[in-house]
Amino acid sequence: MVSRVTALTRRHTPLSTGLITAVGIVLTLACSSGESLEPVVDLEPISPAEIISRSSDALSGITTFRFALSHDNGTTILSNGIEVPEASGTAMVPDSYTLDADMLVSGFFVNTRVTVIDQDSYMTHPITQRWQLLEPGTSPFGTFNPVSLVASILEQIENPQIAPPQASKAGSYVVDGNLPAIALKSLTGGVDETAPRLDVRVTIDGSSLYPVEARITGRATTAESGDLVRTVRLFEFNSDISIEPPI
């Protein structure tokens, strides 16, 4: 019995070894083909101030983008007292945008949609959800402009410096700095100009130099919390976006 087992083992050892090797190669190739190999962007070693300047220039060449606003430790509070926990929308440079916003009005949560085309503002009624053309100066988002907001953040950032290594993102520049509250005026409508400087962390795509995220900590109005964190994300730049009157 021992000799027979030994013979079988010797007989099949080369075949087994070949099979194991072949299976290993197949598995390796399969695993490799299943990975999403994204090109690695070789970041140019430029100063934080130059990164911000180039990103601002890149932003000026954008025609459309999508955006989203979210919060930690509070909400954005507009000058009219309306709180905005979350919002998202589309933008066409320079003065047209759509907005889908959750709002807290007098203690009640409502959802509203807004379309702004140059000087015309449309908004859905919070109860009927029917579109209506607003009289000039009556929109609760009268000063909101996502294009101006992002441009203002880049233009007014102070003391820019490369973020710590733990905040780095592959293929992106991450820059820390400070902002005066006035930089958020196109978001809140009014600001407390005596408020302490806000901390900002801007993430900029290393290839296009488009700003893809701004994380802002601090209050811009007297009603907001000092530890409020606003995150503005931008994506789908220069995509096929069309903004038309809803009625």
Q: Does 38 have pLDDT greater than 80?
A: no
pLDDT band for position 35 (cuts 50, 70, 90): very low
pLDDT of residue 193: 92
Cβ atoms of 175 and 52 closer than 8 Å: yes
**Mean of the pLDDT values across residues 148-156?**
96
Residue 132, CA atoms < 13 Å, CB-side half-sphere:
13
Q: Does 7 have pLDDT greater than 60?
A: no
Written as one letter, the residue type at 155 is E
Burial of 217 (0-12, 13-18, 19+ CB in 10 A): middle
Give the distance between the most distant pair of CA atoms in the chain. Answer: 99
pLDDT band for position 183 (cuts 50, 70, 90): very high
Cβ atoms of 114 and 90 closer than 8 Å: no
SS3 string, 53-91, reads HHHHHHHCCCCEEEEEEEEECCCEECCCCCEEEEEEEEE
How far apart CA 135 and CA 168 sit, in angstroms, is 46
